[in-house]
Each structure stands twice: as structure tokens, then as C-alpha cells.
Structure 1
Amino acid sequence: MKILVFLVLLGLHSAAAGIHSLKNILTMSSQVPNSPEFVIVGMVDDVQIYHYDSNTRRLEPKQDWANRVTEDDPQFWERKTARCLDTQHLFKGYIKTLKHRFNQTGGVHIFQWMVGCEWDDETGEVNGFRQVGYDGEDFLSWDVKTNTWIAPKQQAVIIKNNWNNDKALMAYYKNDITQEFPDRLKKFVNYGRSSLMRTELPSVSLLQKTPSSPVSCFATGFYPDRAEIFWRKDGEELHENVELGEILPNHDGSFQMNVDLNLSPVTPEDWRRYECVFHLSAVKDDIITKLDKTAIQTNWGKTGFPLGAVIGVVVVLLLLVVGITGFFLWKKRNAKQPPGLGSPAPSGRWTEDGTRTRG
């Protein structure tokens, strides 16, 4: 089984300026060492705002401004914590049933549920979604237009039919997506507007470890993480002899990224034809850095390699992995769908044939 772990700060991106998203990812795991059995991560516009896991058994805010929700709803965190506990028990039954359906007796298994909505604050349009995955593959998807489940896997057909025939359950799902999630999203966007809407430009440096190493164009300190960095020659973006790194979080909440250029096929007289371009979403002007030997910082010359810019990243990543596990591998066609909070279904038990009992 192939599992890909996503970090919250590298999450899915809002579609465009003016479009906001509330994303919840709920994960139940089986036999994953050193990890909470059940985790819920909630994000607004790609920023983690709350977290729940089966070790702490508490839903807690992760941004100071997120706690403002108690101004209008003093019992918000207590009420949602109780709902998370119910969902935890429900998901335990889900993964047990799926292991039975797939004839699995042991090993690591992951059941995941993505739910949430997008809201265009200019047009007022709201789009909701729900996706269910098992062991890194699509298991069930929800059609918002027809308010019905679709089963891409044969093992999911019975479950799909039982859920679709439960009218109370489907009415619950529809209300969740059309009312509760959009209302909560609008509140959180209002509370965190100054933080969510901010933009910070990076410092950009050219780095090289040895004279024969690729030249790395390194940008750090930018926000948000909707950014691009690339090399171009004579104004045309390069796709050969370049290697793009991941966007990584800094300790202060900003981000860093790099793109390397292999100089072995480049003659010294052609250096002036190359430049590094950094583009930040919602910012009009790009940051352009010419390939200039005198501007390159190295650890073999007098300048010294600027490791200070990246110190702390490994620690941050380890903390994130410990606190936020179980993000799962969606197929590429689903990667742009943003995930929101709530029990995936009303209270009850899920039986071996996929039906739900009340109580």
C-alpha cells in the first residue's frame, strides 16, 4: 500500500483571489505506529485553524483569531469536541467494516473523509464537496447536485445504496454543505481577514555548494504559499536541466522554496541569458534575479553558505507530522478539491452490510 503524508501548511490551494475555502480532513488509521488513531484537521484558506486527535480528545483552535468564534457561540469548542468524539467512534466502525469487505486481517490501513466548501465572496456562490478514501484510493464520492453518493469501487456499492436510501441522512448531508459549512466559513474569514489576506514578499538568493554544483535560486519569507519559482532563458521558461523543490514552512509561518539550474551545459558567455523568476499569487510584479556569478553565495568562497535561512525547518516538519498525520493520497484529478468540520453522519453504528442503526 502506498500512503502519501501531506503537511497542513502545504495543503490544497484556494482557487483564486476572492474565493475562500473551509476544509476538513478526517482520518482513522489502523496499526500506524506513533500516531493518534483518529485525527481531524480543519483549514480556512489553507491555514490550519483547528485540530482534534484521539490522544487529546479535544478540538482546539490553532490560530488566535479562530477563538473569536466563541464571541457569538461560547460553547462552540465544547459542542464540536463532543461531535468529534461521536465521529471517532463512528469511524472506528467504518474501518472495521472496510477491512472485512476487503478481506484484510492486519497491517496498516487508512480511512479518510474530506468535507467542506468553497465560497466566492464576490458572487456569493457556494460549492460543497465530500470524498471518502480508503488506503489511498477513492472509495465514495458525493454528487452535490443530486445529493447522492457514487461508488467507484465494487466494495462500496452496498454502502452507497444504503446511504442513498437513508433520506434523513441525505438531508443531513445537504444541510451541512449548504448551511453549516458556508456560515462557519464566512465567520472565520471575517475573524481572520487581516491574517488570511496578507502577502509577504521573499528575499531571493542564488546559492551554490561547489563550483560544479547546480545554482539554486532560493526564496524565503513569502506568504501565502501560493507561489511559483522557475528559471527562464531569453524570456522562455526552462523545463530541462532544472529541478524544482517543495514549498516548505519556516518557523515564523512564512514559506520557502527553491529551484536548481544545472550549469554544466551552459557556457560562461550565456549566463546573462538566464534569470530566476519568483511569482506570488495576488501580487502583480514578479521578483527577477539575473544569473550573475558575483551574486552567487557559496560555501567554497568567501561568502559562506547561508544556512541560517533554513534552520528550524526540519524541527517544524517533525512537529507537524506528529500533530497532523494521515493526510491521504487522492488521485491527481481530486487533488484540487478542497476538503470542512462535522460528524460525517448522524449518531449511530455502521453494520457489516453498510447500514446504520440509530442511537
Structure 2
Amino acid sequence: LQMFVLKKIINLICPTVLHSMKYFYTASSQVPNLPEFVAVGLVDGAQIVYYDSNTQRAQPKQDWMVNVTAEDPQYWERETGSLLRSQQAYIKNIETAKQRFNQTGGVHIAQKMYGCEWDDETGDVNGFDQQGYDGEDFIVLDLKTLTWIAPKPQAVLTKQNWEEKRAELEMYKNYLTQICIDWLKKYVDYGRSTLLRKELPSVSLLQKTPSSPVTCQASGFYPNKIMLFWTRDGEDLYEDVDHGEILHNHDGTFQKSVDLHVSSVKPEDWGRYSCVFQLSGVEEDIVTKLDPKVIKTNWGKTEIKRYGGGKDIDLTIPIVAVVAVIAVLLIAGIGFAVYKKKQGEELKSISPWHFLAFTF
């Protein structure tokens, strides 16, 4: 009980305040109904911009992104031009990779992800840059040593070429740890009402069959800085528990589930178990007792226990309806990197898309 109370106090006094900006690029060849090049940007998990090779226009995906244009009227024109150049570079990367892997035709995908993180409580910052080909890591930036890691022999030549550009690597480090962070702070400020909002979820207990685990599912919460866990007599439970990952909902909120294996739990002991949901910065927890009367099942009349204005959850645990373009980016299973450059200019003229698009 003391550990439970201590964890709650720490969560309230020192909530997680990690903000992130991530950009995803996908170049593809011979993939039906998919543009050759797609780019999206996300801040704290919310999509802020979209571009593809069919429209060839960078488009805002949040109403508050109009603030960028108010400060810089040429913002979207400049972004479009930059993305058009990176589109050409990344399509070329596929052809280079095909040669390296001795491939001819067929479906191939090159993906890139880069960005930065900022903890507004401690001031700590971090940058990252990954790149992949056909669903496997191709090359990754080690920001601490400012070197490239090449897990594939076919990427060694790329590693050597990029590491020779030492001055540009230093500029890129400056981008990831300073310029990217400055833009992240700008976006968080622009979208404060959206990005800093707090939404409580619906919490449901689900069970497919009498012998299946009982799933505690929380859906509709925002942000994704949460804890969801089972307790027994108020103590955290670690045995017979399986945690799922935090996933996106179609409306920009999140969902997460945690399973409790009840096959060894005596019926008279069910009341000792509870599922606890905690949202960072919110004092009151959502506690759901392990009660057969509120479990949604596949074999009889069901009920649902709702909290915080969230939406009811279907009987069968849903496949997450991720924003369509993000789903596109997960075709090969991994998100990856981009290269960016510029230093010594005013922040206003250096947007997140202004980079040097290195080719393989």
C-alpha cells in the first residue's frame, strides 16, 4: 500500500512532461494505390502536416498550424519545395538500395524517421535519426558519437560517405538538439489547447471466454502519459499480468490494455483485484473492481462501466484505427529517418523540413 501511495504522489508531483516531434518519410516502388513518396509530421503524437507525391503540396493537419503562416507567410511554399527535393532524393535511394541488394523489380520501401524530444521539466533534450529498407534497419545515427551505425553490409558505403561530411554532421547535431527543439516548443505553444489537454477514458473489462484472461482496456485518453495496471489488495500485481502497448485511436486519443490471467484466482477472491488507470497530472484515479457483473463477454448479457465521458467500447477488442497516413507508414513495420541541415540562420527561416537530403 505504501508503494502504491508513493507511486501516486510521484506521478502527481513530477508528471512525465516529455514532448516530441517526429517526421516520417516513406518512399515506395510498385506498391498499388500508394503514392511514391509520403511525409507526415507529428508533435506529441498529433499529426501536424502531410505531403505526398500525388498532391505535391505540404498541408497543415491542425487548425492551430495557421499560427505558423501568421508569423511566416511563405512557410508552406518553402515546405513544399523542400519536400519535393526530398521526394526526389528518397525515390533515388530505393534504386540505389536495389543495386546494393542485387534486386531488380518487385515491391520495395525505404523509410526514414527523425526528430527530437524535450522534457519541459528538466530541460533535457534528445535527437534521433533512423533509416530502413524493406522493413529492416539500414542505417542509424548515434548522436553521442556523431557516427552512423550500419547493421547491414550494404549500408557500409553509405556510412563511410556520410561520416566524411563531418561539418554537415555537426550542423545536423545542432539541428536535432537546438533548432528542432525550438520548433517543438513553438508548436507546443501554438497547439497548447490541443496538445496540453487532458481527456479521461472509458475503462472496460473484457473477456472472450470463461477461461480467457480478463482484459482491462482504457480507450479515449489524452495525452499518452498514463499508467494502467492491476492491483491485489491495493498492491501492484506483476505476476499473471500482460501489458499491451499504448496505441492510437482514430480521433487522436489513445488506448491501452492490460490482461489479468484469472484461471488460478478463486471466485471468492475476485473482489480483491482492481484495474487502476492513472493520467499524469490528474489527481483522481479510475479504479475498476474485478466484478463479473461489469465484464463484457462473448457468451452472455454484458454491461460496461464508463468514466470521464469516453466512448463505449465494442465487445471485441478493436483493431486500432490509426490515422490513415500513419498506417501507410507502417507497411514495412518500422518508422525511419531523414537528414537535415542549416545553421547560423534565424529560426524563422529554418523550418523542420529544411534539410540536406543525403542519398545512399
Alpha-carbon offset, residue 81 of structure 1 = 0.9
Bigger Cα displacement from structure 2, 115-124 vs 91-100: 115-124
Write the distance in 1 (CA, Å) between the matches of 2:166 and 2:248: 44
State percent identity of aligned pairs. Answer: 55
Secondary structure at the aligned position of 1:113 is classed as strand
Partner of 2:271: 272
Partner of 2:139: 140
Write the distance in 2 (CA, Å) between the matches of 1:259 and 1:123: 30
2:231 maps to 1:232:
yes
Q: 1:103-153: CA deviations, max 9, x gaps?
A: 112333222222212223345443322222222332222233454434333
Partner of 1:254: 253
Partner of 1:129: 128
Alpha-carbon contact 1:39-1:326 (below 8 Å) kept? no
Write the distance in 1 (CA, Å) between the matches of 2:231 and 2:20: 33
2:107 maps to 1:113:
no
Structure 1 residues 201-212: aligned runs within 5 Å: 201-208=200-207
Secondary structure at the aligned position of 1:309 is classed as coil
Partner of 2:188: 189
Partner of 1:60: 59
Alpha-carbon offset, residue 69 of structure 1 = 0.8
**Aligned partner letter, 1:258:** S
Secondary structure at the aligned position of 1:32 is classed as coil
Alpha-carbon contact 2:295-2:303 (below 8 Å) kept? no
Alpha-carbon contact 1:27-1:110 (below 8 Å) kept? yes
Alpha-carbon offset, residue 305 of structure 1 = 7.0
Structure 1 residues 1-359: aligned runs within 5 Å: 17-167=16-166, 169-170=168-169, 172-208=171-207, 214-234=213-233, 235-240=235-240, 242=241, 244-245=243-244, 247-298=246-297, 301-303=300-302, 309-310=312-313, 316-317=321-322, 319-320=324-325, 324-326=329-331, 328-329=333-334, 341-342=352-353, 344-345=355-356, 350=359
Structure 2 residue runs of 5 or longer lacking an equivalent are 1-14, 306-310, 338-350
Write the distance in 1 (CA, Å) between the matches of 2:325 and 2:313: 16
Q: 1:30-81: CA deviations, max 9, x gaps?
A: 2223222211121111221111111221111111112211111111111101
Alpha-carbon contact 2:111-2:335 (below 8 Å) kept? no
Alpha-carbon contact 2:250-2:322 (below 8 Å) kept? no
Q: 1:74 to 1:239 in 2, by over 3 A?
A: farther
Q: 1:212 to 1:104 in 2, by over 3 A?
A: same
Aligned residue pairs total 326
Write the distance in 2 (CA, Å) between the matches of 1:321 and 1:57: 18
Write the distance in 2 (CA, Å) between the matches of 1:322 and 1:300: 33
Alpha-carbon offset, residue 26 of structure 1 = 1.4
**Higher RCO (CA 8 Å, separation ≥ 6 residues):** 1
**Aligned partner letter, 2:285:** D
Q: 1:218 to 1:276 in 2, by over 3 A?
A: same
Structure 1 residue runs of 5 or longer lacking an equivalent are 1-15, 335-339, 355-359
**Aligned partner letter, 1:163:** W
Q: 1:258-293: CA deviations, max 9, x gaps?
A: 334444433221212222122333445432211123
Secondary structure at the aligned position of 1:155 is classed as helix
